[in-house]
Chains A and B, each alone.
Chain A
Amino acid sequence: MSAAVIRQGSSVRRIGAMLSRHFFLIRKSWPRLFSFAYYPVMQLLVWGFVTQYLGPQSASQGVLQAVPGILLTGVLLWDVLVRGELGLFLSFLEEMYSRNLGNLFVSPLRLHEFVIAQMLMSIVRVVIGSGVALLVAVVFFDLNVAHQALGLSLCLGSLLMFGWAVGLLANGLVLRFGLGAEEIGWAIVFLIGPLSGAYYPISVLPTWLQTLAYALPTAWAFEAMRAALIEGRIAWNLLGVSMLLNVGYFVGCAFLFWRFVESGRERGLLLQMGE
C-alpha cells in the first residue's frame, strides 16, 4: 500500500524537515529574527563604549593597547557560546511549548538527527546574531581581527561545541524534570561565565578557582583568543586542550541527554511532555 507514498526517507531529508520547521517559524516572525541579533548587539554596544572610555588611557601602555580588541572579541566569542547553547535549548523548548515532542518521537526521526538539526539551527542563530554584532564592532568600534581570523575561528569552533554540550545537558534536564527545570536551562551557561575568562586571563582568579577553570574548555579557548590578539599567534596547544576537553564534555552531555530520553521512555514522559 504505502510503497507509492513513502520509503523515500533519509537522514538528510529528516534533518531538512526539522530545519524547515524552524525556518517556517522565523520567516513569519520578524521580532523573532530581530531577537537573534538584538542581545548580541546590545551587549556589544555596552562593551564598545567601555572600550572607548578605556582606549585613550591604555593606548600607550604596552599590552594594554590590545585591551579594547580583547574585550570586544571576548564579548563576541562569549556570545557565540551563549547562542550555541540557546540554539539547542530554544529549539527544544519550541517543541515542548507546542506539545510536539510526542509527534517527533513516534516519527522516523532519529535522536541524533533531532540533535543535528538543533545544532544547525544554533549555527544559524550564531551567524545571524554574532554576525551582526561583529559588523557593528568593525564599523563603529574599529575592531580589526582579520589578521587572526584562523586562530579566532578555531576559538569560535571550540566555544560553539561547548555551547552544544551545555545545550544538550539543558535539554536533558528539561526532558527529565519538565518545564520546571527551564530556568536551569537558561541559567546554566552563565554559571561558567566567571570561570571562562572571556574578559580577563585565568591567572587573575584565585588559585583554587583556576583549577576549576582549567577543567573547562572555555578557559583554554579564551586564553587562545588572547594569545592570538596579544601575541599574534595561533596557540595550538591551548586550542588542542580546549578541543580535547570539548570532546569529553560533548560525549558526556550527549550520553546524559540520551539517558534522559531513555529515562523518559521508561517513565512514560515522552508522549506527554509540554505546557
Chain B
Amino acid sequence: MMSTPRLGPSQSSGLSGSAAIAVRDLKKSYGAVDAVRGISFTVAPGQTVGLLGGNGAGKTTTISMLLGVLTPSAGSIEILGLPLATNRYDILPRINFTSPYVDLPKRLSVTENLRVFAGLYGVRDGRKRIAELLGELDLTEVADRPYANLSAGQRTRVSLAKSLLNSPELLLLDEPTASLDPDVGDRMRTLLENYRKQSGCAMLLASHNMAEVERLCDDVIMLKRGEIVDQGSPAALLAKYGRDTLDEVFLDISRAATA
C-alpha cells in the first residue's frame, strides 16, 4: 500500500497575489489552421483548473505554449507573475509537468532518472528528496529497476515523481492518469490532491476523464476547436446544463457546437 502522501513542503506558495497563469488572447495557427483561437483565462495560486475538450480542441497546444515549447502566434502568457516570453528560465525551475507525449530514458533506473532531473532542476539535497518521493509514491521497491521494466502504472508514478522533484508552484498535467487502471488512477488523484493541500501548488489539468476533473478541479474550461466555449466550477456547469455529470455536460457542449 502507498503510504499517506506528504509530497510537498508545508509552506505556502508565496505567489503574493499574482496569478499562477494569466493568458490573454492566446492564438496558435499552423498555416491556415487555427489550433487555438484567442483564448484568455487565469489560474489563481493554489487553484486547480481543468482544461476539457475533445481531440483537437487545443488542450495540448495550450499546455505546450504554457511550457514554452510552442511559440504562440499571438497573445501573452504570464506564469507566476512573469511574462513567459522573456523570463522562461526564471519560470521553468518553478514549474513542472507530466505528459503522455514524453518519456524517460528506459535503460536508466528509476533513481538514476530522478537524479538526473534533480540536477537539472537544482534540487537541494536531491538524494533525500528522491528518497521521500519514492517512499510517498510507493516506488522504493523498484528504485533500482530500469525504467523499461516498470508497469504502465509505475511509469506514471515515476513521471509524477519527476514532476514533483522541484516542489513546483505550478503543475501542468496533460492526461496524468491516461492508461492507468482505476485503482492506480485513484491513487494518483489522491496524491495530487494531497500535494496541492500541502504545497498550495496551482494545477492546470487536461483530461478526458470527467470524474477526475470533477474531483480535482475548482474550475473547468471547456475548449472546442481552439476556443473557450464555457467556463465555471463543475457544480456551476452541472447546474447550468441541468445535468448530473460532467460527461453529460461535455457531450452537450461538444454536440451542440458540432450541430
Q: Give me the interface of A with B, judged by CB distance under 8 Å.
A: 1-10, 13-14, 16-18, 20-21, 24-25, 28-29, 94-95, 98-110, 262, 265-268, 270-272, 274
Contact = CB atoms under 8 A, between A and B. Distances in A.
B200 interface: yes
B9 A108 contact: no
Contacts, number: 150
Interface string B190-229: 0000000001110000000000000000000000000000
Given A1-B14, A6-B167, A14-B119, A106 B107 contact: no
Nearest to B104: A100
Give the interface centre of A5, A6, A100, A106 by most chain B CB atoms within 10 Å: A5
Given A1-B200, A20-B116, A28-B107, A6 B101 contact: no
B200 to A, nearest CB: 6
Contacts of B47: none
Interface in B152-182: 162, 166-169
B166 A99 contact: no
Interface stretch (B49-57, B90-98, B240-248): B90-98
Give the interface centre of A99, A103, A266 by most chain B CB atoms within 10 Å: A103
A15 B8 CA distance: 26
B13 interface: yes
Contacts of B255: none
Given A1-B8, A24-B112, A99-B101, A6 B121 contact: yes
Given A1-B13, A102-B69, A18 B116 contact: yes
Nearest to B60: A271
Contacts of B167: 1-2, 4-6
A259 B8 CA distance: 38
A265 B69 contact: yes
Nearest to A268: B70
19 contacts: A1-B9, A1-B14, A1-B167, A2-B94, A4-B11, A5-B124, A6-B122, A7-B93, A8-B124, A10-B122, A18-B116, A18-B120, A108-B93, A265-B68, A265-B70, A265-B71, A268-B28, A268-B69, A271-B70
Nearest to B199: A1
B171 to A, nearest CB: 12
A10 B121 CA distance: 9
B123 A8 contact: yes
A7 B115 CA distance: 16
Contacts of B162: 103
Nearest to A107: B120
Contacts of B121: 6, 9, 107-108
A145 B89 CA distance: 47
B48 interface: no
Given A1-B199, A2-B168, A3-B11, A274 B103 contact: yes
Contacts of A99: 101-103
Given A4-B9, A17-B120, A18-B116, A9 B93 contact: yes
Contact of B68 (A14, A106, A274): A106
Contacts of B123: 5-6, 8
A273 to B, nearest CB: 9
A228 to B, nearest CB: 41
Nearest to B15: A1
Contact of A267 (B30, B96, B116): B30
B48 to A, nearest CB: 16
Nearest to B174: A271
A109 B120 contact: yes
A266 B93 contact: no
B149 interface: no
Nearest to B13: A1
Contacts of A101: 102
